[in-house]
A = this chain, B = another copy of it.
Amino acid sequence: MVKNLKDSERKRVVVVGGGFGGLAAVKKLWRGNLKVTLIDKNNYHLFQPLLYQVATGELSPANIASPLRGILRRQKNCEVLMGEVLDVDLEKQSVKLDDGQNIPYDFLIVATGAKHSYFGKDIWRPLAPGLKTIEDATEIRKHILYAFEQAEKTDDPLARQSWLTFVIVGGGPTGVELAGALSEIANHTLKYDFRRINPVDAKILLVEASENPLDMYPEELTKKTREVLAELKVTLVNNSKVTDILPDKVQITSKDGKLHDIETKTVIWAAGVAATPLARLIGDKVGASVDRAGRITIEPNLTIAGHDNVMLIGDMTSFPHQGERILPGLAPVAMQQGQYAAKRINQAAVGKSFDEPFRYFDKGSMAVIGRFEAIAQVGNWKFSGVIAWLMWLFIHILMIAQFRNRLLVSMQWAWTFFSRDRSARLITGEPPQ
């Protein structure tokens, strides 16, 4: 039962960020003696694992973005504010919004995640869009579709080849997903759509610094990934780094120092991520260590040193699990940390303490490559091909259901699957530079 307490009798919990971690926390903070304020700069929760499908025209933004107010409509102890948190005052216990407002807290959870990082080369940003937001996804979609349009329009054979060359930087899950989807677009979706060019002529290069794409998986699965990418006509450029990006070409440097210039109009950045600036800002205030990717090291109970009521969770943090490996930036990690943080606050709100170190329960991980093709690892079990792909499909339909849109997404997947069409193939906004 929610008791009728005056505002002054309730503990104020501020949660910054409505991603997987923040939202998981808020949903567990249902106690009537808590007054929860969720602050996010967007008005929606984004189901990031499917963002690559927006970037490749399979889903619409609204299919993977659900309004936060809608999700939390029935949670009466929670209010949502749209805004950006610019600063945290750990002494006065308040966060400062972009409009100058200060929101006081008794407990604070910060979960603003990560954004992509160009390793100091911010000049590359407009030339090689990354994939972290809805706007990024529609931008990449525009770049890809516009390239095919321009290839059809030009009479110059070299310009045409350049428009039909796609370079994806980074062979992690996002890079591999994008490469696989691009192959599907070139080889199937657009197959009969053009009269002057043949979309099958598109060249898709996946540039990866290490030996293998999806390097975090066991060799058996990375080998399978390489085979599938080859079947999909994706050229893996491994042991290589992108060392320069210009409007008409990229420079790729291989391990042995050889330089290659690749003429291309479309470069997609899937290489690096860095924590959002709040991580460093808070780290500097409390003297916590902040790693190269801007992630703050947190205590075993997810707090920061000296502030028992402030927890940081998810992609913005570096958490040495049981003193050992740093947990990866994955949705399940953020969600479990969010639930842990909520439990700590729920206990504190009734005068109990809860400081058992956070433990991550690893249910496994998976990455999709293409139609019928995925890899998955669950404990020591390894899966690939159709089985892994069906696991991926099943789990993602289940997961997205928590944020609605399940039926629409399933239908669009069924449509894409059977027709190999992609219904959201729109070029919107200003033409690319």
Contacts and interface: CB of A to CB of B under 8 A. Distances in A.
Interface residues of A, number: 50
A81 B138 CA distance: 21
A135 interface: yes
Given A192-B73, A195-B79, A411-B407, A426 B152 contact: no
Nearest to A78: B195
A81 B152 contact: yes
A146 B44 CA distance: 12
Interface string A182-216: 00000000101111100000000000000000000
A420 to B, nearest CB: 12
Contacts of A190: 69
A41 to B, nearest CB: 9
B196 A426 contact: no
Contacts of A60: 60-63, 424
A8 interface: no
Nearest to A424: B62
A150 B411 CA distance: 35
Nearest to A133: B428
A253 interface: no
B81 A43 contact: no
Interface in A67-82: 67, 69-70, 73-74, 79-82
Contact of A426 (B67, B192, B193): B67
A99 interface: yes
Contact of A153 (B101, B405, B428): B101
B67 A425 contact: yes
A146 B81 CA distance: 11
Given A404-B423, A426-B62, A428-B134, A43 B153 contact: no
B69 A426 contact: no
A427 interface: yes
A143 to B, nearest CB: 13
A223 to B, nearest CB: 37
A194 B61 CA distance: 23
Contact of A411 (B79, B411, B421): B411
Given A61-B428, A135-B428, 6 more contacts: A60-B63, A79-B152, A79-B196, A101-B153, A138-B428, A405-B423
6 contacts: A42-B427, A43-B426, A60-B60, A62-B426, A79-B196, A97-B153
Interface of A: 42-44, 60-63, 65-67, 69-70, 73-74, 79-83, 97, 99, 101, 134-135, 138, 145-146, 149, 152-153, 190, 192-196, 404-405, 407-408, 411-412, 421, 423-429
